[in-house]
Amino acid sequence: MAQTLATPGVYIEEKNAFPNSVAGIPTAIPAFIGYTEKAIREGESLINQPVRITSLAEYHSIFGAGVKTTFSIQQSQGSSFDFQVDGASYKLVQDSESRFLFYDSLRLFFANGGGTCYIVSVGTYYKAESGQSDGDFYSTGSEPKLNSISKKALEDGLTSLISEEEPTMVVIPEAVELEEGDCFALQQAIISHCGYKMKNRFAILDVFKGTAARTYDRNDVITRFREGVGSNFLAYGSAYYPFLNTSIVQNEEVSYKNISNLDVLESLLNKEVDRSTDDKKEIRRNKS
């Protein structure tokens, strides 16, 4: 603004060479929707209740940790196998069809510098038993049974985000664990939520069967994905392919305790020990 000068002379007016500082605020705040170890706090269910967190430690204190995946050792008759013992082929088979991806996706987010995000638990890893509250994961005795990943449960979690203004991205990692048709229907719903209902959010999607190589025919994974998600509101979403192998799962998280049929493991290890002993005896015999 021009100054009114009272007397003649030379005046110096200092001007700031730098603009006013602007406080940085997070512009990408994802909302993660999926299954958690627990979903109850102070006696109240957290299912379909968006919760704002700022660290993985805070997540652990509210929702717990990841599910422990177990595998059984089964003999393989085909050409696909994980290891061989005594001429026989064996493979590791996951014990449950439910493969919960939510926790590892969240760990990757924080490991790559993520900060504020929203958590929407749609259920716990294990089915509720008689007398348990909604969202309570503790077993009352017998071996707990894993929940099945439900399209409706994930859709209900998505609906719960309508009342929240802060999230700018939506991530549902376990969508690809559904049947193909359900996965595409849910991904269409995510894109519609972002581009039609809210108009201020972005969908982060995975390609169904994202570990498969491209074949460039009618069954090509990318072709099927494009046909599956349709053509509406595509500016509000992005898909990632292929799946990446990461080191987010630590070595100490994988051990013999992940094997459910330890008797089979023990038997195979004994065979290996016997074979090793026989080989050493044969070497000594040849030397003598």
Write the DSSP string, 100-143.
Answer: --HHHHHHHHHHTT---EEEEEEEESBPPPTTPPTT-----SSP
The answer to whether the predicted template modeling score (pTM) of the entire model surpasses 0.85 is no
Q: Are 154 and 186 in contact (CB under 8 A)?
A: yes
What is the reported pLDDT for 27? 65
Answer whether residue 21 is part of any domain.
no
| Tens-place pLDDT, residues 201-232 | 999 999 999 999 999 999 999 999 999 999 99
| Domain tally, the chain | 1
Distances in Å between the alpha carbon of 88 and those of 83, 102, 170, 189?
9, 36, 46, 47
Express each pLDDT in 84-113 by its tens digit. 888 889 988 877 767 899 999 999 999 999
pLDDT higher than threshold 50 for residue 22:
no
How far apart are the C-alpha atoms of 75 and 91, rounded to whole Å?
6
Residue 92 lies in a domain: no
Q: Where residue 135 falls among pLDDT bands split at 50, 70, 90?
A: low
Q: Has residue 50 been placed in a domain?
A: yes
Q: What is the CATH number of the domain that holds 47?
A: 3.40.50.11780
Is residue 20 predicted with pLDDT exceeding 80? no
Q: pLDDT tier at 15 (50, 70, 90 boundaries)?
A: low
98 Cβ contact list (under 8 Å, min separation 6)? 125, 146, 147, 148, 149, 177
Range of the domain at 104: 30-69+97-124+147-279
What is the torsion angle, in degrees rounded to the nearest 10, for the CA atoms of residue 261, residue 267, residue 268 and residue 272?
150
